[in-house]
Structure 1
Amino acid sequence: MDGYARHVKANLSPEQAVEMQAVDGLAKKLLAHIVDTTAEIAALHVHGAKSKAIQDHFAILLREELGFGEEVVLTPQSGLVTQARPDFFFELMDGRGIIAEVERGGTITNNHDLKDLWKAHVAPDAHHLFLIVPHNNWKGDGSPRERPFQTVARRLGAFFGDPRREIDVLSVHVFAY
């Protein structure tokens, strides 16, 4: 699909490969939800709309159907003054999980995508990131202002594929709505 990008560390242990199967299964369900509700999302994602409306739409699937917790405070990283509180969190097993973030207007203009990747990197109990971003953000006249998905998929991909530049996140899945 033109609205999905998957980035995974170059070298996986056998345990990580099994974990990736579970993560990919959840990603597939999220992707199907986006495809199945395209018209509903388009009605919500208009110029001037509240970001909360988009987050609430995805909460139906993530929280109610897949079992993600909402606004869960993650374990603080030792030595850092942070208490990451992602939009959604799914515990795969004790100490391992998926952060899911829903972005809208500030995805690239305010670098929310990089902040979300950082959040996944420093949280000791998060190893995967689901980042849900717009294909386009709109101007008041209905024309595209920017295309976050293309930019986010490209720049987050820079942290994968070569062990020298990889960070402590096993996978990033970027979904476009």
Structure 2
Amino acid sequence: MVLTPQTGLVTQARPDFFFTLAEQRGIIAEVERGGTITNNHDLKDLWKAHVAADAHHLFLIVPHNNWREDGRPRERPFLTVSRRLGAFFGDERREIDVLSVHVFAY
């Protein structure tokens, strides 16, 4: 599954993993590292799942914490991503063409 000009998009976005569930139904899985929040990779991955014609579920694997050199947590992507992506569900006005998002921490 790649978004191409033939599908109306020119992003050439490629997910880390794609699994077909049925015709026109699938799961995109993305694994993120340091840029999860600072570069909005979580929102880009949600957008990728939204515009893909054959994906309706997103599995997003993010760090529990990003660490400073002295060992302290710099940021906590898991909590932030869960909150940010949860905002797209539960209100008809903000709904997108993604049926579910599952956020996992490592």
Which TM-score band applies after superposition, normalised by the shorter structure?
over 0.9
Q: Normalized per residue, which structure has more strand?
A: 2
Percent identity of the aligned residues? 85
Q: Normalized per residue, which structure has more helix?
A: 1
What residue number does 1:123 align with?
Answer: 52
Superposition deviation, residue 106 in structure 1: 0.3
TM-score under structure 2 normalisation?
Answer: 0.92
Superposition deviation, residue 74 in structure 1: 2.5
Superposition deviation, residue 75 in structure 1: 4.8
**SS, match of residue 120 in structure 1:** helix
Q: RMSD across aligned C-alpha pairs, in angstroms?
A: 1.3
TM-score under structure 1 normalisation?
Answer: 0.57
Q: Alignment partner for residue 2 of structure 2, among 74, 82, 92?
A: 74
Superposition deviation, residue 133 in structure 1: 0.5
Unmatched tracts of structure 1, length 5 or more: 1-72
Unmatched tracts of structure 2, length 5 or more: none
Superposition deviation, residue 84 in structure 1: 2.4
Residue type of the partner of 1:74?
Answer: V
Which ranges of 4 or more aligned residues in structure 1 deviate by more than 3 Å? 75-78
2:19 is aligned with 1:95: no
**SS, match of residue 21 in structure 2:** strand
How many residue pairs align between the two structures?
105
Superposition deviation, residue 78 in structure 1: 3.4
What residue number does 2:34 align with?
Answer: 105
Superposition deviation, residue 94 in structure 1: 1.8
